[in-house]
Amino acid sequence: AQKITQTQPGMFVQEKEAVTLDCTYDTSDQSYGLFWYKQPSSGEMIFLIYQGSYDEQNATEGRYSLNFQKARKSANLVISASQLGDSAMYFCAMREGGYQAGTALIFGKGTTLSVSS
Amino acid sequence: SAVISQKPSRDICQRGTSLTIQCQVDSQVTMMFWYRQQPGQSLTLIATANQGSEATYESGFVIDKFPISRPNLTFSTLTVSNMSPEDSSIYLCSVALRREDYEQYFGPGTRLTVT
């Protein structure tokens, strides 16, 4: 079974609009971390935002926020006021066992976001 | 944060040959990982590079095909052996600075094409 599921292969949004990228996860660990990365066409992996399983508040980083619903095992990324430069592939990822476990991230299949003017 | 460099940045190789990819980090890191990203696909973990001991490979990846070395806390190599066109991918080195650091950093990747 997939550990990280991203059901949207592609999303389209107009500039200045908000967009939500979906991510659900599957783990039996009580301690885990959830991540979102952006990969533009250049190929680099850019860290966007992190949410720990014990964090009670949703994480926010500038225009990015993570809508964490623990009971539903979802960790959706919300991008407010989209910009043309947001066009990229977005990956949801999870580290099981919490950050102290030192285990590697497991990635979802990704969502391609296209922002138009 | 960590600055990660990889060499080569890209290469075109003939089938049956081997390529060694180097990963250099500007600081000592606890955990170092190698990922593969096939065209249009997500990142798949190949192995965890352990300093001073054999790498820990994920299911579907074997040491004979992807030998890994990690002689110290700032450097690792991944060799893609006896290459076939199916090995054409981006290979990414990734590090975690210390076990308390939640962020995982990625190198720029090595784009490999096998003909």
Count of pairs with CB atoms under 8 A, one residue in A, one in B: 54
Is the pLDDT higher at B28 or at A24? A24
Considering only CB atoms, A50 lies closest to which of B96, B100, B102, namely B102
Residue B1 host element (H or E): none
Residue B16 is encoded by which pair of tokens? Answer: 């049956």
User: Are A38 and A88 within 8 A, CB to CB?
Assistant: yes
**Residues B89 and B112: beta-carbon distance below 8 Å:** yes
Decide if B99 and A102 are in contact by the 8 Å CB cutoff: yes
- Report the SS3 class of residue B113: strand
Contacts of A44 in chain B (CB under 8 A): 106, 108-109
pLDDT, tens digit, 9 for 90 and up, residues B39-55: 989 999 999 998 888 89
Q: What is the pLDDT of residues B4-16, one digit of tens each?
A: 999 999 999 999 9
Q: Encode pLDDT of A15-56 as tens digits.
A: 999 999 999 999 998 989 999 999 999 889 999 999 999 988
Per-residue pLDDT of B65-91, as tens digits, reads 999 999 999 999 999 999 999 999 999
How confident is residue B100, by pLDDT bands cut at 50, 70 and 90? low
Residues of B in contact with A21 (CB under 8 A): none
* Tokens 């460099």 found at: B5
- Chain A interface, best mutation among B48, B76, B106, by max A CB count within 10 A: B106
